[in-house]
Structure 1
Amino acid sequence: MFRTLISRFLQGLLVLFVLFTVTFFLIKALPYGPFQTEKAIPDHIREKIESYYGLNESIGTQYTRQLGNLLKGDPGVSLRLEGRPVIEIISQAFPNSLQLGIVAMAVAIVIGIPLGVLAAWKKNSSLDYASMAIAMIGICIPSFVIGPLLAENFGRRLEWLPVMGWSPLSPASWVLPAITLGLGTAAYLSRLTRAGMLETLSQDFVRTARAKGVGSMSILTRHCLRGGLIPAVAYIGPAFASIISGSVVIESIFVVPGLGLHFIKAIEVGDAPVILGIVMLYGTLIIIANFATDLLGLWLNPRLRSSN
């Protein structure tokens, strides 16, 4: 088990290095720079600006300097926001994005896992067919379509919930963006949970427990739930990654003051330090989520612990 955890940690470091390298060179391949505005900047002023930020140096020098800054925990300063530190931008906007991601993940788990358990327990019933049909619809409809529909119906027409804005202390402002982000993940979780539960329910020990007169609820909670949730738990890490990356669009739809708006603006103008800082932060969060998922999977499945 310890060897597996060390291996996952080293793999995570390698992934972060590759992510930084690919992102850096993709930024450099953009056909525009951070100082291309509608009003042309004189060449001598442009040269001074690029010299100040080190943009006139070789690609290798810029790569090494940026990598060294990230290893020190300092992505640099924004080229778009007049030298504002990237750390300051992230520290102010990231709490809102993180809160939105956590709430959306909670929505997905609360909806998806119980729905999948019920569908498996009532296999081939109307509840099973209806829940899986709803899950398929949730998978097929993207979040950027669900968001405006929810905003139009529950925000503008019924006026039950605010459509725009975000307040960390106002749960009403969380509802629409969190549900928009969480529904697609809930659909996947329900299908994975159903598949895992059906496989567990078909095992010999379940039939033995029923022959011994063990109650249905006890079979479900004590004998099947732990093993049946393994596929869903394994998906939670990638699901969190999907929610974090998807929040960029949802934050724009519901005007959430998170990292999504800064990320989009940075891409529009080629602000490399901001792009790299946000991408590396997202990558680190995804790796941590996958690492936590691996730990939970080891706890749920003793065979994985014994094989490492």
Structure 2
Amino acid sequence: MLRYLINRLIQGGIVMIVLFTLTFFLVKSLPGSPFKTEKAIPEHIQARMNAYYGLDQPLPVQFAKRASNILKGDFGSSLRLEGREVTEIISQAFPVSFQLGIVAITLAIGIGIPLGVIAAWKKNSLLDYSSMALAMIGICLPSFVIGPVLANRFGQEWQILPAMGWATLNPLYWILPAITLGLASAAYLSRLTRAGMLDTLSQDFVRTARAKGVSQKNILIRHCLRGGLSPAVAYIGPAFAGIISGSLVIESVFALPGLGTHFIKAIETGDEPVLTGIVLLFGVLIILANFATDILAYWLNPRLRS
């Protein structure tokens, strides 16, 4: 177990280095300048601003300085929002994105796993076919299509739920963004859960339990659930990654004060410090989520421990 933990830490460190390197050079390859505005800036002022932020130095020198500062915990200041530290921007906007991601993945797990278990239990029934058909629809519809439709119907036309804005303590504001983000993951989880449960239900120990007169309910819950959930659990980490990355777009659809607005604006203006900070933050979250799901998979499936 100790070797496994060390290997995962090393892999996580390599992933973060690659993320930082790719983000830095991709942002530098974007056209334009972060200081360009609607009004033309004189060349000498543009040159002084580039010199102040070190943008006039060769790319390898800029890369080395940025890497050194990040290792010290200094992510720098935003090039677009003068005087604002990257850590300040993230600390103010990240709680909204994180809360939305947690609500969405919880919703996906709460819908997808029970639906998959029931579909496997009622194999080849109308309930099985209908639930898998709904899951396929959820997979095929992208979140950036579902979001505007839900906001228009439930928010503007029917005025049942808020279509814009965010309230940390008011669950009504969470529903539409969370459904938009969690629907596709719930669909994948239901299909993976169904496949895992059907595979477990076909094992020899299940037939032995049935021959001994064990009820179908006990077989499903006590004997099959733990092993049947392994494929779904392995997917939860990548699902959380997809939800977090997808929230950056959905936040713009529902006008949420999360990291999405800063992320999109940073791309438009080439604000490398903000982009790097957000990408590395989500990288850490994804690595931790995958690590947690691996530990849970080890607990569910003893065969993986060898």
Partner residue, 1:168: 168
Kindly indicate whether residue 245 of structure 2 is the aligned counterpart of residue 245 of structure 1: yes
Compute the displacement of 1:38 (Å): 2.3
Q: CA deviation at 1:3?
A: 1.4
Match of residue 198 from structure 1: 198
1:36 Cα deviation (Å)?
1.8
Task: Give how far 1:75 is off.
Answer: 1.0
Partner of 1:224: 224
TM-score of the aligned structures, taking structure 1 as reference length: 0.98
Cα distance in 1, alignment partners of residues 74 and 150 from structure 2: 39
Matched, 1:287 2:287: yes
Aligned to 1:92: 92
Amino acid at match of 1:300: L
| Correspondence for 2:148 | 148
Q: Which 4+ stretches in 1 moved above 2 angstroms? A: none
Helix, strand or coil at the partner of 1:33: coil
- Alpha-carbon distance between aligned partners in 1 of 2:23 and 2:104, rounded to the nearest angstrom: 27
Which segments of 5 or more consecutive residues in structure 2 lack a partner in the other structure? none
Match of 1:215 in 2: 215
- The 2-side partners of 1:71 and 1:294 are apart by 27
Provide the rounded CA distance (Å) in 2 between the counterparts of 1:227 and 1:34.
Answer: 52
Matching of residue 300 in structure 1 with residue 300 in structure 2: yes
AA in 1 matched with 2:137: I
- Tell me the residue number matched to 1:82: 82
In 2, the alpha carbon distance for the partners of 1:224 and 1:205 equals 10
Alignment map for 1:130-149 (pairs within 5 Å) = 130-149=130-149
| Paired-residue identity, % | 70
Amino acid in the other structure paired with 1:159: Q
Distance in 1 separating the partners of 2:183 and 2:287:
23
Q: Does 1:112 align with 2:112?
A: yes
Question: Which one is further off, 128-137 or 35-44?
Answer: 35-44
> What is the match of residue 5 of structure 2?
5
Q: TM-score of the superposition, structure 2-length normalised? A: 0.99
Deviation at 1:70, TM superposition (A): 1.5
Give the superposition deviation at 1:35.
1.1
- Paired with 1:235 and 1:196, the residues of 2 have a C-alpha distance of 12
The SS at the match of 1:55 is coil
Quick one: distance in 2 between partners of 1:108 and 1:273?
Answer: 33
Residue type at the aligned position of 2:7: S
CA distance in 2 between counterparts of 1:175 and 1:196 reads 29
SS in 1 for 2:100: helix
Question: How many equivalent pairs are there?
Answer: 306
- Separation in structure 1 between the aligned mates of residue 254 and residue 36 of structure 2, nearest angstrom: 29
DSSP-derived class of the 2:129 partner: helix
Quote how far apart the aligned CAs of 1:150 are.
1.0
